[in-house]
Each structure stands twice: as C-alpha cells, then as structure tokens.
Amino acid sequence: MTRQELSGSRLDSAVALRQPDLSRSRIRRLIEAGWITVSGVRVKVAYRLRSGDRVEGRVPAPEPLELRPEPIPLDVVYQDASLIVVDKPAGMVVHPAAGRSSGTLVHALLHHCDDLSGIGGMLRPGIVHRLDKGTSGLLVVAKSDAAHRALSAQFKCHSVDREYLALVRGAPKREHGSVDAAIGRHPGDRKRFSTRARSGRRAVTHWSVEARFAELTLLRVRLETGRTHQIRVHLTSIGLPVVGDPVYGGGRAISRALGLERQALHAAVLGFDPPEAGARLRFESPLPADLRCVIAGLGP
C-alpha cells in the first residue's frame, strides 16, 4: 500500500481502509504481534505512513482450539451450517477468562458442535457478542469464519435488532425516552464503566415502559449501539438502576427481598441478516422463570 493518498495516515486506519473485513481491534492485534509491518520493519499501531512506505502483512490461521468440551445443557433456539442461536441462562459466563476456566458457554458449545469459527481466538471461538454473567437471553455464535465476519460487520454498523427487558428501581415520569451519552472506563474504578469518563465512545439506548409497580418498573430497552455494560450504565445514569445489579447500584436488599439471585436483565429479542442469502432472522425469548415469579409477586 504505497498510494499517495494514504501518506500521513495512521497504519491501523490505512489497513482498515484496504481490508474492510478486518475489525479495528483485530488489525491492532496483528500490528502489535508483528503480522503487519512497514517496509519490513515492525512498528507501532499509531505509526504515520510516509510516501514510499510498503505495508506488508498476512492474517495467521485461526488458533487451534485447546479447550475441552463439557456436556453442559444448552437451550438451542436455532442452528444452521453457519451459526447457532442459544438462550443463555443467568449465571453462565460466555467465555473463559481469568478465574474461570470451565463451565462457560464456550465449553458447552464445543461439546454441542465442533465447527465453531476460530476467529475469536483460542478462548473465544465463534463469539461475536457477549452477555454479562448475570444477564439471561439470546446470543448468536458463528460456526464459520465467513459467518463471524458477516455477523461482526452487522454489530459494528448497528444493524442488529437487540431488545432487553429490565426490571429497574424507580418510576420514570415519561412512558419512553432515550439516553445518548458516551461510555468509558470509570475514572476511579477500572472494572466499572461510566458516562462521566474522561474519554468514551458514543452510546445510545432507547427505553419504554412495559409495566409499573409500586417502587419498580419493567422497561423494554432497545440498543442502538453495543458498549460494555451499556444498559446498566445508562439506566443508572438516569436514576433507574437495574434491580439486583451488584455493580451499578441495583439494591441488593431489594433483590434479596424479591428472592432474586441476579440482575433483572434479559435479552428478549435478537434479529439480524443471515450470513448467507435469505430472509432476516428474528428470535424472541420470554422472561425466564425467576423473573416471571418476581414480577408476578409484584402484583398487577
């Protein structure tokens, strides 16, 4: 890539223009690992291209999966040759991480099907998006690299339909609303996210009232973007924290009184275009038993 118009561009930006199938995060990892070089030299991600520079690189083959499959029951909503949609229960972690080396959704998927995409790496095969451990509901996983790229592109351009049901503390004055506030790392706690971060990425959440109770409200929430902890952070920022949320002030006393062991958040709707030709796919998941019991106990 030596064209004059790219002179002065950051290396990662230039590669992204020439290789639209690769995500920015994937490109950064390739540069940092030395798979993408400039004139044969390993450089930093922010390197500014100069006239005459020669950018060379290749994408390594997906890492072999070394995780052991585990016979964990899965609620499979849909499956074809390129993807699988599951209804994840609350309490299940999506993929292995520090302190969690077994019992994840990935371990269950490896037992269920042996053809997951390797793009996500050794610990996240096929994982296109995630749900928090305490959140239940619909999640799509890629079974081929082509499907992974196609689905990731839809999430990146925000064309995926994602609706959640959230039981929150408080009573909104209106029947619907939106939150448009950037989200970044909390300035005082790196494990949390905040709308008051020094720097953040734009995030948009739309909500509407499904049912009102004495001190709680059931909301239907639609994501326009998909940032980490977006719903939990945005609803807390407008005074409507998710019941049972252990991080963002959902009120543990209330959740204990309700007999709820997790945050009251459920991914109820998931819609996207199939990686191959075909009509748009849309799936709905009813509230799981624990949330149904809580809401039934709140009265009409």
Condensed to tens digits (0 to 9), the pLDDT of residues 167-212 reads 999 999 999 999 999 998 887 776 788 998 777 889 999 999 999 9
The active-site residue, picked from 12, 53, 87, 132, is 132
1 pLDDT more than 70? no
Rg (CA), the chain: 21
Query: What local confidence, expressed as pLDDT, does residue 192 receive?
Result: 85
Neighbours of 77 (CB within 10 A): 16
Q: What is the mean pLDDT of residues 220-247?
A: 94
Contact 125, 253 (CB under 8 A): no
Contact 299, 270 (CB under 8 A): no
Taking the C-alpha atoms of 87, 89, 95 and 96 in order, what is their torsion angle to the nearest 10 degrees? Answer: -160
5 pLDDT more than 70? no
Contact 125, 117 (CB under 8 A): yes
Query: What local confidence, expressed as pLDDT, does residue 144 receive?
Result: 85
* The listed CATH number (2.20.25.90, 1.10.3720.10, 3.30.2350.10, 3.30.470.20) that belongs to domain 160-300: 3.30.2350.10
Distance CA 55, CA 51 (A): 11
What digits encode the pLDDT tens for the residues 109-165? Answer: 988 887 676 656 555 678 899 999 999 999 999 988 888 999 999 999 999 999 999
56 pLDDT more than 60? yes
Task: Give the percent of the chain with pLDDT over 70.
Answer: 91
Q: Is 132 a catalytic residue?
A: yes
Query: What local confidence, expressed as pLDDT, does residue 264 receive?
Result: 95
Q: β-pairing, 76-79 with 83-88?
A: antiparallel
Positions of CATH 3.30.2350.10 in the chain: 62-157, 160-300
Task: Give the percent of the chain with pLDDT over 90.
Answer: 50
DSSP string, the chain: ---GGGTT-BHHHHHHHH-TTS-HHHHHHHHHTTSEEETTB---TTPBP-TT--EEE-PPPPPPP-PPP------EEEE-SSEEEEEEPTT--SS-BTTB-SSSHHHHHHHH-S---STT-SSSTTB-S---TT-EEEEEEESSHHHHHHHHHHHHTT-SEEEEEEEEES--SSSEEEEE--BEE-SS-TTSEETT-SS-B--EEEEEEEEE-SSEEEEEEEESS--TTHHHHHHHHTT-PBTT-TTTT--HHHHHHHT--S--EEEEEEEE--SSSSSPEEEE-PPPHHHHHHHHHT--
Query: What local confidence, expressed as pLDDT, does residue 131 receive?
Result: 94
Residue 29 CB partners (closer than 8 Å, separation 6+): none
22-26, 35-39, 81-85, 149-153: the lowest-pLDDT one:
22-26
Q: How confident is the model at residue 232 (pLDDT cuts 50, 70, 90)?
A: very high
Length of the chain: 300
Query: What local confidence, expressed as pLDDT, does residue 237 receive?
Result: 95
Contact 160, 215 (CB under 8 A): no
Residue carrying structure tokens 């520090």 = 98
Terminal-to-terminal C-alpha distance of the chain: 64
Positions of CATH 3.10.290.10 in the chain: 4-57
Class of domain 4-57: alpha beta
Query: What local confidence, expressed as pLDDT, does residue 132 receive?
Result: 92
77 pLDDT more than 90? yes
Query: What local confidence, expressed as pLDDT, does residue 239 receive?
Result: 95
Report whether CATH 3.30.2350.10 matches the domain 62-157. yes
Q: Which two tokens stand for residue 80?
A: 């074809």
Summary mean pLDDT of the chain: 87
4 pLDDT more than 70? no
